[in-house]
A and B are shown apart, each in its own frame.
Chain A
Amino acid sequence: MKRLESYDDLRKLRNETREKISSYSDPKNAANRVIIRVGMGTSGIASGATQVLEFFREALRKRNIDAEVLMSGDMGYSYAEPTVQVTRPGTPPLVFGDVDTHRADEIIEKYIRQGEPVDGVIPVDYLTIEEI
């Protein structure tokens, strides 16, 4: 990492990273490739999120699906851990709750590959600070 010497450096870095990353870190905008984000806070990990994350990495590699598997903190849905946010190119992300490896497989085969609906989607029930 390069040390930032000024506020301008920071803003420049923000713009660069935003270009690189915002496509998959923005909760409400579409990405240009498949992005999977597994909630890895304490409650997620306690419910088995680590195995789910590993499964996604393995399965997507073996099945030759171009995707980025990332982690995040808790999304707040403790009643439905592990939670996974899946973004297909050109569509807003969906958050799936209660994802075990079996459900993960279903999400890959049905939703990611074919865009077919899969049960267990947690609706977006909040506004972001950009929206008000």
Chain B
Amino acid sequence: MDKKIKQLRLVLRNCGFIDPENIDEAIARDAYLSMGKVITEMHPAEAIKIVKESGLRGRGGGGFPTGLKWEFACNNKADRKYVVCNADEGDPGAFMDRSVLEGDPHSVIEAMAICAYCIGAGEGLIYIRAEYPLAIKRLKTAIAQAREYGLLGKNILGTGFSFDIELRYGAGAFVCGEETALIHSMEGLRGEPTVKPPFPAESGYHGKPTNVNNVETLACIPVIFSKGADWFSKIGTERSKGTKVFALAGKVNNVGLVEVPMGTSLREVIFEIGGGINNDRKFKAVQTGGPSGGCLTEEHLDTPIDFDNLIEAGSMMGSGGMIVMDEDDCMVSVAKFYLDFTVEESCGKCAPCRIGNKRLYELLDHICKGKGDMADLDRLRNMSEVIKDTALCGLGQTSPNPVLSTLDNFYDEYLAHVMDKKCPAGQCRGLMEFFIIEENCVGCTACARVCPVNAIAGERKEPHKINKGICIKCGACMEKCKFDAIIIQ
């Protein structure tokens, strides 16, 4: 492989190259051929073996071996079974699944049909958030066109195998990406998770064996059958095979989708493909895994990205959001941002997640406002560990990760907040003080007039002063001053 080319488009093989609303273009690029091969020439067990041999692991975050999941669903006998595509992409900053559905919906439809054949399902459901109207429209078009060709429906390609797909819309609740909550939501119940076991493979949608796979996982399936398990398992690292799509966002020059073989380093993704940090600022951290992940630092930049390495480094693969931060980002605020998200998205069923995360958020807020002390840092860690161990589902069990990883990797910054009452990145307003530099101040009174609490006093044409006791640190004076006389410290 050419050393300079880092990306490999496997999941994104057709994105950008076909018209997603014209099935002929997809077929010209081999769509449905793998399905045709599997349902006419293979026994389900044979096909599942190929998926197992490929080493494919779930791309939604957990990294569970896909072939094994299919085998479980296949082995559970029932009159009806279901294949579900999890398109409830909810991590802040992640848009991989949306791009696949908008650019190449047929790859997902084809993979669902293959899965249905393998596990013995007749119906498929795509759980997609209503916030993705374009993806929904293109999926509907794609499903309708596939039906017209008889690639979905009864007696597909004359083999006697029947399978059809319907869409189910989610209202955008993050917890519904968890498979049990997702199934409840599809059943019309509240989107709350339940304890596993029973796993959906035994008792899922309406109590029937159900196989839930993420969009990106499914998009790999047709390639595994067209190129072979052997070919696929040669890409990637020992325990993580294939490629991973990342949505690169934040303070990086080339924001967008990146697809690299597993084992590529964070440095290669951020600095070579991503083009480095905006405005030549200094790299500080990269957040992977969304609200369930953690922040990795400079020392992790050369870690090869795969499921196990990221967990070892204190983060996780997650669904593929990758947010790059520079020296201007305050890590305590970043942890607070993710906790804010988790508190908002917690379904409220279990106490550790409902109450614990709220308390974590309050502690972080306290620290950001300069009211924290050393005992708060211990409290943060203890509470995080308790939540991790006791929460019901993946959302709660992973929600303290942003706190723990920033405590581990950026303890100095927490110390600066609680001991010196300073925010090194200059983000926490509560820890700043506004000053007027006398030499620069011409006494124009603009700042005094804009101050909402009348904290600035001074005679015309004389240097002004800010009364720290009254100042609410809104920054309005600094924006107004034309002479750069107001600074933050």
Contacts and interface: CB of A to CB of B under 8 A. Distances in A.
Contacts of B99: 41, 73-74, 76
Contact of A75 (B15, B27, B135): B15
B253 A41 contact: no
Interface in A1-47: 1-7, 9-11, 13-14, 17-18, 20-22, 25-27, 37, 39, 41-43, 45
Interface stretch (B18-26, B378-386, B413-421, B481-489): B18-26
A24 to B, nearest CB: 9
B148 A3 contact: yes
Given A4-B149, A127-B2, A11 B36 contact: yes
B309 interface: no
A76 B12 contact: yes
Nearest to B7: A126
Contacts of A2: 149
B254 to A, nearest CB: 5
B194 to A, nearest CB: 33
A39 B104 CA distance: 12
A72 B223 CA distance: 20
A42 B27 CA distance: 23
A76 B32 contact: no
A1 B145 contact: yes
Interface string A67-79: 0001111111111
B24 A128 contact: no
B102 A127 contact: no
Contacts of B91: none
A25 B2 contact: no
A129 B9 CA distance: 7
B16 A21 contact: no
A122 B227 CA distance: 29
B350 interface: no
B28 A126 contact: no
Nearest to B249: A78
B177 interface: no
Given A45-B134, A74-B16, A79 B254 contact: yes
A78 B5 contact: no
Contact of A73 (B8, B104, B253): B104
Interface of A: 1-7, 9-11, 13-14, 17-18, 20-22, 25-27, 37, 39, 41-43, 45, 70-80, 83, 85, 125-129, 132
30 contacts: A1-B145, A4-B150, A7-B36, A10-B33, A10-B157, A13-B27, A14-B27, A25-B28, A27-B17, A41-B103, A42-B102, A42-B134, A42-B135, A45-B134, A70-B19, A72-B15, A72-B103, A73-B15, A73-B18, A73-B20, A77-B254, A78-B257, A79-B253, A79-B255, A80-B256, A127-B2, A129-B8, A129-B223, A132-B1, A132-B235
